[in-house]
Amino acid sequence: MNAPAIITNPARCRDCYRCVRHCGVKAIRVQDGQAQVVPELCIVCGTCIRECPQNAKDMPSATPEIRQAIREGRRVIASVAPSAPAYFNFTQFAELEAALKKLGFSAAEETAQGAEIVGLAHRDYVERMPERRPVITSSCPVIVNLIEKYYPDLISHLAPIVSPMIAHGRWLAKKYGPDAMIVFIGPCIAKKMEIADEAVAGVVSAAMTFRGLADWMAEEQVVLAPLPPTQPAKAVDARLFPVEGGLLATAGLSTDLLASELIVASGLETCGNILNDIRAGRLSASLVELMACTGGCINGPAMADLEGGIYTARQKILAYLRRRPAYDALPRSQWPDLSRDYTDKRQQAPEFSEEQIQDVLRRVNKYTPEDELNCGACGYPSCREKAIATLRGMAEVTMCIPYMRSRSESLRQVVMDVSPNSIIIVDNHLVIQDLSPSAERLFGCSLADVKGRHISRLIPLYDDFVSVSDTGKPVIGKVRRINDKIVAEQNIVLVEGQSLLVAIMRDITERESEKQKFHELRAQTLEQTREVVRKQMRVAHEIAHLLGETTAESKMIVSHLAKILEEEEAK
């Protein structure tokens, strides 16, 4: 299994499926609630990194490897992508070169040198191989990945030419020697996988992003120092390579978007539509420049943290193009080998029977086509495709949000239905929202009768509800007479964030009635005892002269008995 170019932080991944929804090739596997990128299916476009609201997706950093090479005394050479002026906002490349040397790089050069010869090589190839039209440009590694993995039948249309990074890397290796460590710095995370591709591996040792370089510079407190302006030289079109149409301009071809022989497109969805048209034989163009990122490399994944949009970045590139000194173009005699080949990397998807698919659909209560909402909340365009993804191990059954909501509501209803205590739910205005069946029986009404009515409709003395609503402090175990017929033990709590109050009432009317009867019986018994004592005392006085000391003892015993009864009454 290939090493992932995109990694997931499990602590941040929160079951939102946003990455699945936005992944154009559905290369995200959800397992145990965690969304993981499948390397064999991933085209490394970086969309999941852009879209993750919790920043749970990231890419491995090349910075530690590069710093280690510098510490070991190796010659580390930087190849800097043409979109760098849009990120670092420098006026001359020498400013960034000086900063890189402070970090320990031996030298830094512009990848635009490689872009220029790649653009010219595309023009030569189109002119030389008319039978393979339309020719698809090969500079964007994401597009190459897309074709190799999902459109392998179109590999013959893909120009067998390396990307500007590899072209420049091969030239730098010749210039600085095989022991030099070539490091590409750019806006694209797909470059991290491209340098390991067997077709071009062994030239560029590491690929880091602009963001990674910016973090490293901030850590080392290295800043770009402005340099005196120089006399602008003739514009070199290769520095336009990171914008739409940049390759055509570099190749000296027309950038007129109305020209039928040349097509320029950016954005994965648009590129996919064009590839489908080529597959269907509907396109007759000679050259098709495809860029995975909308607007071109100036909108790469590692450019996402910049202020401003695509057109602001484009303006910076154009301004840099007008004022920078020219670099020395490579004569054809010094061009490195620009050839490469491609591999069919398609992953055969297993096939499943209709019964297997229907079984998965039934597990989420989808028994008929009408049950299939196709809401896309799970990340798949239809319930059927999500069922197939589940069978492939790419998705989980519980990813169906409507099903889980229905299940949650049904569980809530089970609790409401079976609870022996009465449950009343009111909003923050004390308007009744729901009643449990036991509450309906207790108050002798149905939910339909009281829903939307004030709580006073059921409970005339509702001051406890007002207190909980105003203070947020719960009422626990308070015994209240609800009305003339009902006595209940109240528990009232505020549901945080929901503006709801839940009251759970235990009917203790019968218990209180029995308790009242018991107190009445005790009072009656005590009164009868006192009457007996009074009568006994009168008899005692009448026969005192006969009983003598016996009468006195009887009086003491009777008095003691009266005291005991009085103490019992006090309890």
CA distance 85 to 97: 12
pLDDT number for residue 248: 82
DSSP 24-35: TT--EEEETTEE
CA distance 86 to 168: 20
Please state whether beta strands 432-435 and 475-481 pair in parallel, antiparallel, or not at all (unpaired): unpaired
**Could you tell me the sign of the dihedral formed by the alpha carbons of 15, 17, 19, 25, in that order?**
positive
Q: pLDDT for 123-180, tens place per residue? A: 999 988 877 689 999 999 999 999 999 999 999 999 999 999 999 999 999 999 989 9
The DSSP element (H or E) to which 492 belongs, if any, is strand 487-495
Average pLDDT on 547-568 reads: 64
Closest alpha carbon to 389 in 88, 107, 76, 38: 38
Is the pLDDT at 493 greater than 90? The verdict is: yes
**Beta strands, E only, 100-150:** 107-110, 135-136
Cα distances from 214 to residues 25, 164, 184, 221, 482, in angstroms, run 31, 22, 14, 10, 68
Counting residues of the chain whose pLDDT is more than 90, the rounded percentage is: 57
Average pLDDT on 537-547 reads: 64
Burial class from Cβ neighbours inside 10 Å (0-12, 13-18, 19+) for residue 408 reads: exposed
Closest alpha carbon to 263 in 276, 281, 279, 248: 248
The DSSP element (H or E) to which 287 belongs, if any, is strand 287-291
pLDDT number for residue 448: 87
pLDDT number for residue 557: 67
pLDDT number for residue 1: 42
Q: Is 185 helix (H, G, I), strand (E, B) or coil?
A: strand
If pLDDT is split at 50, 70 and 90, which confidence band does 235 have? very low
pLDDT number for residue 70: 97
Is the pLDDT at 3 greater than 60? The verdict is: no
The DSSP element (H or E) to which 266 belongs, if any, is strand 262-266
Q: Which residues contact 562 (CB under 8 A, 6 or more apart)?
A: 529, 530, 533
Q: Which residues contact 254 (CB under 8 A, 6 or more apart)?
A: 248, 262
If pLDDT is split at 50, 70 and 90, which confidence band does 512 have? low
Q: pLDDT for 377-403, tens place per residue? A: 999 999 999 999 999 999 999 899 888
CA distance 309 to 306: 8
The DSSP element (H or E) to which 403 belongs, if any, is helix 401-418
CA distance 262 to 278: 13
Distance of CA 115 to the CA centre of its chain: 36
pLDDT number for residue 528: 72
Picking from 188-202, 335-349, 509-523, which range would have the lowest pLDDT averaged per residue?
509-523
CA distance 116 to 122: 10
The number of C-alpha atoms within 13 Å of 229 and in the hemisphere containing its C-beta is: 6
CA distance 79 to 172: 8
If pLDDT is split at 50, 70 and 90, which confidence band does 244 have? confident
CA angle, 560 then 561 then 566, to 5°: 95
- Bridge partners for 495 per DSSP: 500
Q: pLDDT for 35-58, tens place per residue? A: 999 999 999 999 999 999 999 999
CA distance 213 to 112: 19
Name the average pLDDT for the chain.
87
- Pull the structure tokens for residue 123: 């023009």
Cα distances from 299 to residues 242, 243, 267, 307, 309, in angstroms, run 9, 9, 10, 12, 8
DSSP 344-385: --PPPPPP--HHHHHHHHHHTT--SGGG-----TTSSSSHHH
CA distance 172 to 229: 27
Picking from 10-19, 37-46, 110-119, 233-242, which range would have the lowest pLDDT averaged per residue?
233-242
Global pTM reads 0.73
